[in-house]
Structure 1
Amino acid sequence: MLSQNTNGSLITTIENKIATLEFGHPASNSFPSDLLNRLTNELNNLSNNPLVSVVVLKSSGSGAFCAGASFDELLVVSNPEEATQFFSGFANVLNAMRNCSKIIIGRIHGKAVGGGVGIIAACDYALATANSAIKLSELAIGIGPFVIEPAVSRKIGKSAMSELTLDTDWKTAAWANQKGLYAKIVETTTELDFEIAAFANKLASYNPEALLEMKKVFWEGTENWEILLYERAEISGKLVLSDFSKNALYQLKK
């Protein structure tokens, strides 16, 4: 299935019980709200597809894995309702990944920022190249990684989350691997694709009911995300309307 428009692309292919879900956007695979909504819907569809046992989540191209929120869209939000709705798009994706009945493998081929780091954290297992550095730059633009914090902290712990949030410089893929965000790192995308294919095929050979029950175990204790993430979206929505944030976003767009 191909879903593509000016707000980015979303492609799903299914083979041997493995669904490959690829998102893309010309602006470093960033997310406008429309693409977030389409990704949420497709994750929900795959969750209910009996022909799928495993989902591989990837992004297009050879540059960044994901640049997070669309700055263009953040600059035009004009009221708290619009802003909260935008950040709720990331909450919807994270909850769809959490609730998905299939194991989600992340294919991380390049750098990730902000919401992109949250999406990686919500994968059940992520493999990456050595070039896949990460950073949370939200404080530098007057907001914070409020919506994605529960997902990232769940993977790397509060201490590493504090370091990642307060020091807004890049952290290497090796750092992310050491903290548990990446299960494994390899040197090239060729190696990455080989590793992912082998791992996905192995998982697809397992009892799907056992995978589902393990997925439930992995995500125990996150039931409050149905409320928490949207409360966090409201905080981000309020802050992004501040003069500080608007000025910072304009500077970054120059």
Structure 2
Amino acid sequence: MQANITTQIQDNIAIISFFHPAGNSFPSSQLEKLTEELHSIGKLNTVSLIILKSEGVGAFCAGASFDELLAVSNLEEGSKFFSGFANVINAMRKCPKLIIGRAHGKAVGGGVGLLAACDYVFAHENATIKLSELAIGIGPFVIEPAVSKKIGKTAMAEMTLEPTAWKNANWAHEKGLFSKVFAKIEDLDENLTTFSGLLASYNPEALLEMKKVLWEGTENWDTLLFERAAISGRLVLSDFTKKALLQFKK
């Protein structure tokens, strides 16, 4: 199957789905497509709500594409790649539609960032999370503001400084990353459908104003996230990171 971003619109709800054969990871092209789709859907008066999900039964999102990280050869390329995640997170926070995440499986690195940038998240109990960046010589710099906004600096530090440790879905729920956790996918989807249908029936202007309230104080992210991307772009060039990425691939 080919990597893709697809959108279905029904009953004022846009369902954006992403897929990549390597664990629903994100190369630059996928990040650009997702950013463009969020901007496009955000302009539609016929849409009141967005559901963000990934395809398959494996990982929700494995984060950045290791192949593309290994191919980075200079600072400009590195900064540009990590700016892709900055663009997506900024598109999600500035999108005039509330975004509901559906996490059916594991999320790593940038995948955790995507869930943190959602306004509400329904998760399966298999949706364990991990920030593995330090283990490969970089750090979760671009996604940190979004993750810290959801779970706080203390929990963010716990995840970051334990880059090989998985946190289970109940931990993510207790910390505020997940809004609801379900033992069965069928229950997750049934509750997601009911919740999103009811939310989409409310006054669109009220939903828009609520979105603004939820993201108050993040206006500096238009600059901050790209400054963070430059840090990651520099670190990914190190010998430590190149060796670590090759080891992870093996």
* TM-score of Structure 1 vs Structure 2, range by shorter chain: over 0.9
Other-structure match for 1:191: 187
- Relative to the length of structure 2, the TM-score reads 0.99
Distance between the aligned counterparts of 1:146 and 1:210, measured in 2?
33
Other-structure match for 2:63: 68
Other-structure match for 2:214: 218
| Within-5 A mapping of 1:45-64 | 45-64=40-59
Which one of the candidate residues 125, 146, 149 is aligned to 1:130? 125
Count residues with an aligned counterpart. Answer: 249
Which one of the candidate residues 165, 169, 181 is aligned to 1:173? 169
Other-structure match for 1:119: 114
* Deviation at residue 189 of structure 1 after TM alignment: 1.2
Aligned AA (1:84): S
Q: Residues 182-241 of structure 1: CA distance to partner in whole angstroms, max 9, x if unpaired?
A: 001001111111111011101110000000000000000000000000000000000000
Aligned AA (1:40): T
Aligned AA (1:193): D
| Unaligned stretches of 5+ residues in structure 2 | none
Distance between the aligned counterparts of 2:5 and 2:113, measured in 1?
19
Other-structure match for 2:23: 28
- Relative to the length of structure 1, the TM-score reads 0.97
SS in 1 for 2:105: coil
* Deviation at residue 64 of structure 1 after TM alignment: 0.2
SS in 1 for 2:226: helix
Distance between the aligned counterparts of 1:111 and 1:208, measured in 2?
32
- Runs of 4+ in structure 1 deviating by more than 2 angstroms, as ranges, are none
SS in 1 for 2:14: strand
Distance between the aligned counterparts of 2:233 and 2:178, measured in 1?
29
Other-structure match for 1:228: 224
| Unaligned stretches of 5+ residues in structure 1 | none
Distance between the aligned counterparts of 2:133 and 2:209, measured in 1?
35
Aligned AA (1:234): A
Which one of the candidate residues 235, 239, 246 is aligned to 2:242? 246
SS in 2 for 1:221: coil
Instruction: Name the % identity.
Output: 64
- Root-mean-square deviation (CA), in Å? 0.7
Aligned AA (1:48): K
SS in 2 for 1:110: coil
Aligned AA (2:232): S
Other-structure match for 2:205: 209
Which one of the candidate residues 4, 8, 13 is aligned to 1:13? 8
Aligned AA (2:189): D
